[in-house]
Amino acid sequence: MSVTRRGFMKGMGAVAGATGVSFNLPGIARAAEKAEAAAVAKSALGDQVIKSTCVHCVNFCGIEARVSDGVIRAIYPDKARSDYYNWGICPKGASGVFNTYNPYRLKKPMKRTNPNKGMNEDPKWVEISWDEAFQTLTDRLGRIKADNPSKLVWHHGHGKYTIGDQFPKAFCAAFGTPNVIHRTTTCESSRHVADELTWGYHGHLPDLEYTKLYLSFGSNPFEGEQWSRWLDHAIMDGKERGMKMIVIEPRFSHAAAKANEWIPVRPGKDAALILALCKQLIDNKTIDTGFLTTYTNAAQLVGEDGLILKSAEGKPLVWDKTYSSARSYDDGMLDPALNGSFEVNGKMYKTAFQVLTDSLKDVTPEYAEEVSGVPAARIRSLAQEIATAASIGSVMNLEGQYIRYRPVVAYTFRGLSAKEFGVQNSRAALILNMLIGSPDAVGGLHLHDVLKNPAYLEASKCEYPPKRVDLAKTVYFPHGHHDVCQQVQYTVNDPKAYGLPYVPEMQIFFATNRPFSTSDALKQQDGMKKTFNVVIDIVNTETCQFADLVLPDLTYLEAWHFSPTRWTPNRKHTAIRQPMTNAYNIPHDATSILWELAKRLGIRDAYVENLNKQWGLKDKLFEKGRDYTPREMVEVLWEDKAHKPFQYALDNGFTGKKVDAKARYLSGLEAKMKGAGQPRMKLYADQLVESYAKVEKTVKTNNIANIDLAGYKLAYSPLPLKEHAFPTPHREAKDYPLYLITHKRMYRNQAGNTAHNPILNFAIGADTQENAIAINADTAKAMGLKDGDAVIVESRVGKARGTVKLTQGIRPDTIAISYHHGHWSLGAPEYARKGTWINQAMELHPDKISGMNSFNDTKVKLYKA
């Protein structure tokens, strides 16, 4: 099915009339104000005001919609939510109504009639009934379940947030397959795993209410990022209060535009810069030694084998200066040495901190300047600035609690994590924070759910042969705690190469677009040609090009769901979504599809049992032996989690609470990683040493040919090293002079539905359908390029065509392009297919620890088309 702009605009005429909105808005802000005033006036006459949660992206902003005669007229931020999370909403959220009324939405189930699958193969869809669709699915699933349930692979991306991944996880557990794959390796999994290896869970935010110096390494909340709609106003509040913001990234982003200073670091070289800052802090003796010895394993003794010295009872040992002996913290009051080498039972040991110090010996400011491009003088002065602002030794009295005060934070998101050495880059930033005592201090780095999963502080099991098709937590990706989505199609294409003891037969893709959104994306198609594929989505994506069966889903404005929210250091909240319309009378969403399949497969009660487990329900449970509508499911979840009547949810959309100082600062590290017998933050990640030993043994025992042990040994260093600033393309692609980085745009950062939205593509600017390749003006001049010239971006794996945009806001050795443009699905409108699909030219060298996709490591050539 192909579509044209003419056909789209013809179809949109009725929609424009229904909504009362013109596509030729002269000023969106002024129009929105007038519309809101009119809608408020109408509401007094009986129109509805419905509170809900936006799930257009993963910020989950509170919204309220004005609905008249069953038609959504406008969407605004929920003012009541501003004290808990978002003050406003972004262009995607404001125009989300058009995703619901989009005439190119999937409306009925469709089956493929063309057996050939490919980018340019028309599936030749035929509409079928829901009953036929369910019967087709049930027949195939029944055969697979009877044979080997693992042959079913379930994928979800944004679908996790529309219904909650507890539903597909519960369904797959009841069915019997371990293969539930999320998209986190195309988002931030390296950052998550770095957290987990360090303090036993993931999730951190800057404590911006009290921060004085905010260092942003590749975090851009002013465009598109998790927590954007809190971070943007929290940062601006901080700046008004006097906080200094320094943005360290290759491109002059929206975040850099609002910063006090932009430091254009060379792509992929963050580790060298951060480690040089660490060395300066150590050499200048401007570190928080009390924090390091009290809360981290910096004082623990490390042997020549890289392992922590432990007692016969398995307790880590430190060198006690008072008794001149190795002791555990359980021995009572200790005065542990932070530096030095010591002899224990005839063997020499160093403190973990000494190992760190020795590893930084050659990472001088001059070396870091050569590698990262940041002047040595600025590295020295920045280290001094960090030390001064950190106020080491200070405390603050909040609500009667005396709490450590370290108002400096180094924060990152995709910028450090989307790399071959993403875990080590992210760990480097965590170590920088640890050196100044920033974690869980007032104004520092706020940690979420410290030690929620202590197993993360242990070595991986390094499973082999793998049970899961994505190879997560196997010998291939030992600490891939968050699935490895881009690996699936490689494994499906050649299961024997990875030791998988079965051949996958069926893949279900729910609101995810794998063949479009990963690096080296063309290779994703190979595996998808070999299985029966089902897609559940709202639009005809690139994944649908390889589907055998497509089922339409409801949008977030049409469905009941218990909504995810974003916690912040000082707020928590619980929310729902509730339907405002059903534009095309679609009878099912993903929730009811799963329920219907569970019933037809005879696993409904097992599904219910697993739902109770996955959601952690305590007071209110799903009952066996009965059916639930999506609304009834949300009511159960709300009453168990929020402990308020469901009518409160219907009226308000959410409930929230403020976090007091004790819970905010003293329930994490202070309560769980301090004192005798408690684990410590892992400045030195010794579990990686143990994991590598298991990898090495498994590879040699099983003669595994597709694992490079030298590469794994480098990746599995217990400390970030200067070598981690040199990903594979930087070492090997010698004839490719330019670094390629990617980034998000606020109005186009989902790989599918945002490309269809006419407001995002027409009303807010002429350039929104395109994603020009940003290049330094001086570099372009030397290459003979002018603004708007058509060019080819060529890497070792592919080429992409685009146009250049000259700017001074990027390093001379770097080009940058936003992704989520250049769609090629035959079912997408003509205008959605504009722009450059850069993913086909990006090399894939996933992080060997987490499996994270390496979006920012590719080197390229650029020349006129």
What pLDDT digit, counting tens, does each position of 345-398 carry? 999 999 999 999 999 999 999 999 999 999 999 999 999 999 999 999 999 999
CA–CA distance, 465 with 500 (Å, rounded to integer): 6
Query: What are the CA-CA distances from residue 529 to residues 90, 515, 549, 840 (Å)?
Result: 37, 11, 13, 18
**Cis before 718? omega within 30:** no
Take residue 361 and report the two structure tokens written for it: 């010996």
pLDDT of residue 677: 86
Residue 449: burial class (beta carbons within 10 Å; 0-12, 13-18, 19+): middle
* Three-state DSSP string of 726-789: CCHHHHHCCCCCEEEEEECECCECCCCHHHHCHHHHHHCCCCCCCCCEEEEHHHHHHCCCCCCC
Q: Which residue has the tokens 């949300």?
A: 634
pLDDT of residue 460: 97
CA–CA distance, 499 with 97 (Å, rounded to integer): 47
Amino acid at the residue 60: F
CA–CA distance, 338 with 288 (Å, rounded to integer): 11
What pLDDT digit, counting tens, does each position of 266-316 carry? 999 999 999 999 999 999 999 999 999 999 999 999 999 999 999 999 999
Cα dihedral 773, 96, 157, 547 in deg (nearest 10) = -90
CA–CA distance, 674 with 540 (Å, rounded to integer): 53
Take residue 763 and report the two structure tokens written for it: 């009303």
What pLDDT digit, counting tens, does each position of 684-739 carry? 999 999 999 999 999 999 999 999 999 999 999 999 999 999 999 999 999 999 99
Cα dihedral 451, 456, 458, 463 in deg (nearest 10) = 160
CA–CA distance, 819 with 123 (Å, rounded to integer): 26
Q: Name residue 445's beta-bridge partners.
A: 206, 439
Q: Is-contact 716 692, C-beta < 8 A?
A: yes
pLDDT of residue 40: 52
Contacts of 524 (CB under 8 A, 6+ apart): 486, 489, 514, 515, 518
CA–CA distance, 556 with 542 (Å, rounded to integer): 21
Contacts of 93 (CB under 8 A, 6+ apart): 54, 56, 57, 61, 63, 75, 77
Instruction: Work out the angle at residue 558's Cα, subtended by the Cα atoms of residues 553 and 562, and round it to the nearest 5 degrees.
Output: 90
What pLDDT digit, counting tens, does each position of 780-800 carry? 999 999 999 999 999 999 999
Question: Which run of H or of E encompasses 387?
Answer: helix 376-390
Question: Which run of H or of E encompasses 657?
Answer: strand 654-658
For residues 330-347, one letter each, b for 16 or more C-beta atoms within 10 angstroms of the residue's C-beta and e for the rest, the string is: ebeebebbbeeebeeeee
Q: Which residue has the tokens 């990706």?
A: 477
pLDDT of residue 45: 39
Amino acid at the residue 539: V
- What is the reported pTM? 0.94
| Alpha helices for 465-589 (secondary structure H) | 488-493, 514-517, 524-528
* Three-state DSSP string of 579-603: CCCCCCCCCCCHHHHHHHHHHHHCC
pLDDT of residue 471: 98
Q: In 3-state terms, what secondary structure has residue 397?
A: strand
CA–CA distance, 100 with 579 (Å, rounded to integer): 11
Q: Which residue has the tokens 């007032």?
A: 442
Q: Is-contact 813 739, C-beta < 8 A?
A: yes
DSSP, residue by residue, 214-264: EEEES--TTTS-TTHHHHHHHHHHHHHHT-EEEEESSB--HHHHTSSEEE-
| Alpha helices for 484-533 (secondary structure H) | 488-493, 514-517, 524-528
Query: What are the CA-CA distances from residue 654 to residues 75, 161, 622 (Å)?
Result: 17, 16, 22
What pLDDT digit, counting tens, does each position of 202-236 carry? 999 999 999 999 999 999 999 888 899 999 999 99
pLDDT of residue 161: 87
**DSSP 8-state class, residue 645:** -
Number of Cβ within 10 Å of residue 362's Cβ equals 9
Query: What are the CA-CA distances from residue 797 to residues 97, 522, 527, 844, 857 (Å)?
Result: 39, 10, 18, 9, 13
Take residue 289 and report the two structure tokens written for it: 């030694």
What stretches in the chain show pLDDT beneath 70?
A: 1-46, 749-752
Q: Is-contact 586 558, C-beta < 8 A?
A: yes
pLDDT of residue 159: 84
Q: Name residue 156's beta-bridge partners.
A: 510
CA–CA distance, 192 with 453 (Å, rounded to integer): 12
pLDDT of residue 46: 53
Q: Largest Cα–Cα distance of the chain, in whole Å? A: 87
